[in-house]
Amino acid sequence: MWFRSNASVVLASISLALLLASPLGAQQDRWEESISRSFSFQQQGNYAQAVQWAQEALRAAEATFGSEHINVATSLNALAVLYKDQGKYAEAEPLFRRALAIWEKVRGSGESAEAEPLYHGALVVRKRAMGAGHLDVANLLNNLAQLYAAQGKYADAEPLYQRSLAIREKTLGSEHSFVADSLNNLAGLYKAQGKYAEAEPLYKRALAIQEKALGPEQLEVANTLDSLALLYRDQRQNVQAEPLFRRALAILEKALGPGHLNVAILLNNLAGVYKDQSQYAEAESLYQRAMSIEENVLGPEHPITEITLMNLGILYYDWEQPRQAEVLLDRSMQNLSKRFDRLSEKERLGFLDLVTWFLPIYFSFCYANQEQNPALVGKMYDALLWEKGLLASTEGRTLRRVTWRDVQKALKEGEAAVELVRFPFQDRKHASGPSYYAALVVTPQSRTAPSFVLLGDGKSLVGGAPRDPRQPVGPGASVGQTAEGVVKQQANRATAGQTGLLEPFWEPLEPALAKTKRIFLSPDHGLNQAAVGVIPVDQRRLPAEMYDLRIVSSTRDLLRQESKPAAILAASREKAKHGLAQTGRRPTISRTKVDGSLVAAAERKEMATGGQRSQLPPQGSPSTAVAAKTGPALPASTAPYRPAFAVQVGAYADRAFAEALASRLAARYQTPPILSPVEVGGKTVYRVRIPTSTKAEAEALADRLRGEEKSQVWIVPLP
């Protein structure tokens, strides 16, 4: 939305500082020009220029007025707001804190000789000591609270918003428009946490204040109307939301013109209400108008334009117009792929939230229409390959776009590639329906698309599967056990009230796997918790007796030329999160021949700590070494051990995955890996490093790891 708060707070601070500063000639002019230009570029949306001028203003203020002058605080605040608006929270926070400290010091000095020269004329009379300085403290508290809210630190943001509100109410009175701003911000914080009952009265009070203080046709009123309408829409109260959206839209069109970007945002919101009410024609018209504005103002590949494109595609899906939906949803997938390649590492981490929202809808559309249009199964497979490549991309690798046709070319006769996918089914009747498991099967004989095999819903398929890897081959089974024995054990568990993998898994796949001898299978979600190789095909057969089963993280791995696809279970994010990270023992997997069939055998070794897994630190704690198991030693050094280099094995947003990887490496090498959390773009990323004494050792270890791991491996010098 359009936020008056950022611009008004910066402008208020600038105006106040210009009034308070004593005349210092050319240096004063330089600072005033720099801060004013920064604000001007910010209003134009040119953040690069705005940041440059804000930095220049800060340098000028420090050189001219000293490091603790009010103008320095103003410059710090202006620069921090610019960083915050761009999502650069790590850069913004220390600037906000430093500015706040300066304002607190000035305010606390009262009428001392140090503070008195800052106050001139009527300003001294009206807001002496506790006046203007106190209000700017409220502004800075508000900005710092916005920073925490954007990072999801709601508990930290709430008291700052409340303190800012209290200062403004005390200083300005309870009916001032700045008080309404604070109410809006606090309400937005509650809304983000789903505390709708707490948010609604604050929005209503803010709206009443703004209508009285500013008039009913002001942009601030439209902003609050939109926020309140979104609150109702989130609760499916569309009858209450629609008139508020309409009134806000009328205000914006009158004040800004029909082609303004903020008008497009309101059109999007109102269209969503109509879509939810199945008024598809009305929603279509509004989405199309919004997209036209956004393409004209921002361009066709801007993230805001892409969101509207997605919304319009989803509308056609709900409207049961699959041809139109396919065109727009395909464009959305292509845009996501292209945009991801252009993002910085920090931006990519936030981008994953959008992917998490969109892909289940895209998969649902493909599933719902694949019988009439089999090519959608191929698009679904391609989207899965792209999604599973995102983790590698966040680690710094640029991966080319791979399709199911590429995977097919890597297969030999008698081989099949199987991608498993779980997605919550969504359509106009199910905003969040049951989670379905499906298998997408590619063989050399696949003609127009992979085969789509529906396996069942998430609950029946994996609902109660045991997660203890100490059971080597699934729920209650052991190596060499027969299929009949596995089924009996599962039946006994069900009789005892325990659920397990009772629903068929392999049997529906058999027709698609005709004449297949080797399967490259990429699990997904809950199926990573089970040893799929011993889920019985029927009462008499295990898949290990029928197929050479090879579990891979993604079937795109078949295209890798530098090493063969992993033959054994390759830990995925979900497996690491739900399985291996929860056990007290760590299995080492090997492949063993049993009666001519390849099966997975688990060799277990006790931890050096007597079988107890070393506990890694909580998130945010200092780097900690993972306790090592007995394993192949790194090259020894006669000198005292001082690591000069480290081999880094990826960087991961998922702590559980990084923890499992570190534990796995600890089982393999005597030198324990280091798991280090670092802040990137306001989020924690976990690095896994193995220290070495020399660069030669690091190079040898890196070469070895590149042949064993699918993560990116590189060498880093240690301080």
Residue 45 has pLDDT above 80, yes or no: no
**Class of residue 137 by CB neighbours under 10 A (exposed 0-12, middle 13-18, buried 19+):** buried
Closest CA to 154 of 199, 99, 205: 199
Higher pLDDT, 707 or 171: 171
Q: How far, CA to CA in Å, does 635 sit from each of 436, 586, 629?
A: 49, 24, 16
58 Rama class: left (phi>0) / alpha (psi -120 to 50) / beta: alpha
- Give the separation between CA 355 and CA 338, rounded to whole angstroms: 13
Q: CB neighbours of 223 closer than 8 A, spacing ≥ 6?
A: 1, 2, 3, 4, 184, 248
Question: Angle at CA 542, nearest 5°, toward 541 and 548?
Answer: 125
Phi, psi of 450 (to 5 degrees): -65, 165
Instruction: Kindly report which listed range (7-16, 252-261, 566-575) carries the lowest average pLDDT score.
Output: 566-575
Q: What is the pTM of this model?
A: 0.60
- Are 536 and 542 in contact by the 8 Å Cβ rule? The answer is yes
Closest CA to 576 of 665, 508, 488, 643: 665
Q: CB neighbours of 565 closer than 8 A, spacing ≥ 6?
A: 520, 550, 552, 557, 558
**Class of residue 430 by CB neighbours under 10 A (exposed 0-12, middle 13-18, buried 19+):** exposed
Kindly state the percentage of the chain with pLDDT values over 90.
34
pLDDT tens sequence across 136-182:
778 778 878 887 887 788 998 999 899 999 989 998 899 999 999 99
pLDDT for residue 39: 79
The residue type of 352 is L
pLDDT tens sequence across 643-653:
677 888 877 77
Q: Is the dihedral of CA 686, 690, 694, 697 positive or negative?
A: negative
Kindly state the percentage of the chain with pLDDT values over 70.
66
- Give the separation between CA 282 and CA 547, rounded to whole angstroms: 54
Q: CB neighbours of 228 closer than 8 A, spacing ≥ 6?
A: 200, 203, 204, 207, 244
Q: What is the mean pLDDT of the chain?
A: 73
- Give the separation between CA 392 and CA 399, rounded to whole angstroms: 8
Structure tokens at 131: 């006046």
Higher pLDDT, 500 or 506: 506
Instruction: Kindly report which listed range (41-50, 458-467, 670-679) carries the lowest average pLDDT score.
Output: 458-467
Structure tokens at 630: 């007995």
The residue type of 705 is L
- Give the separation between CA 438 and CA 123, rounded to whole angstroms: 70
Residue 480 has pLDDT above 70, yes or no: no
Structure tokens at 568: 């054994």
- Are 149 and 188 in contact by the 8 Å Cβ rule? The answer is yes
- Give the separation between CA 257 and CA 264, rounded to whole angstroms: 11
pLDDT for residue 673: 82
Q: How far, CA to CA in Å, does 664 sit from each of 528, 555, 581, 585, 693?
A: 16, 22, 10, 11, 21
Structure tokens at 40: 């001007």
Closest CA to 555 of 386, 435, 413, 364: 386
Determine the 3-state secondary structure of 428 from DSSP. Answer: coil
Specify the pairing of strand 674-680 against strand 624-625. Answer: antiparallel
